[in-house]
């Protein structure tokens, strides 16, 4: 599902290369759940962003479902991401002032799905995320846990095989964090490939099959 070869990300500061990611090599199989573990600043969020095509590597190769995602033209990349990758952001990234249903529909715009079909797909995704009863509420009317479920629905709306989660429990209390992990377990049982970037210790005690990959100072410690 995801192949990463000799991946580097660096910035030049005063003529010196400052590495965020250094020679990352990683293979993630279809249906696998991988936890990218590391403290803040370790490079895990940057790696997730590159896998999502939201950032470009300085060198190296990233293949997602066989596609060299870092090499795709922006227009092709946007459509590929809308159809193949679901992203759950740390800060939810829901649009204020519009309903949860409309938030879930947004990713289908790039996929050029008709409005009637898009609405049905969005309602189905909200149901899977157990938040369909709040479909007509705006983000400002929701709790943190409800916003996270809305973000999950948006990530699932195009039925992607790959789900990326960036610090998904950072803004949640313990009860909502455990609820999110339960949803993750259900998605894993559905056969989704899941990558979670986190430093939350709750992810060290998952009761379903997963692999922990540790990143420290831009280096892969264990894969």
CATH of the domain at 117: 3.40.50.300
Give the position of tokens 């999502």. Answer: 52
Q: What whole-number distance in Å separates Cα of residue 125 and Cα of residue 119?
A: 10
The count of structural domains within the chain is 1
Q: Counting Cβ atoms within 10 Å, is residue 91 exposed (0-12), middle (13-18) or buried (19+)?
A: exposed
Identify the segments of the chain with pLDDT beneath 70: 110-111, 222-223
pLDDT of residue 223: 54
User: Whole-prediction pTM value?
Assistant: 0.90
* Owning domain of residue 218: 2-222
């Amino acid at each position: 599902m995801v192949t990463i070869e000799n991946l580097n990300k660096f910035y030049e500061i005063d003529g010196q290369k400052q590495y965020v990611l250094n020679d990352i090599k990683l293979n993630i199989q279809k249906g696998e759940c991988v936890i990218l573990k590391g403290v803040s600043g370790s490079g895990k969020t940057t790696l997730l962003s590159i896998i999502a095509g939201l950032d470009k590597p300085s060198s190296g190769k990233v293949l997602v479902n066989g596609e060299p995602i870092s090499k795709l033209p922006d227009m092709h990349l946007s459509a590929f991401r809308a159809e193949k990758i679901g992203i759950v952001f740390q800060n939810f990234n829901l649009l204020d002032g519009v309903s949860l249903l409309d938030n879930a529909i947004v990713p289908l715009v790039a996929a050029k799905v008709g409005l009637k079909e898009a609405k049905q797909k969005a309602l189905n995704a909200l149901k899977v995320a157990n938040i369909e009863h709040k479909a007509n509420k705006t983000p400002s009317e929701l709790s943190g846990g409800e916003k996270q479920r809305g973000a999950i629905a948006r990530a699932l709306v195009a039925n992607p095989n790959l789900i990326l989660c960036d610090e998904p429990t950072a803004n949640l209390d313990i009860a909502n964090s455990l609820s999110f992990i339960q949803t993750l377990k259900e998605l894993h049982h559905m056969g989704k490939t899941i990558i979670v970037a986190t430093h939350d210790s709750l992810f060290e005690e998952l009761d379903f099959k997963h692999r922990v990959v540790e990143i420290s100072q831009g280096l892969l410690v264990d894969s």
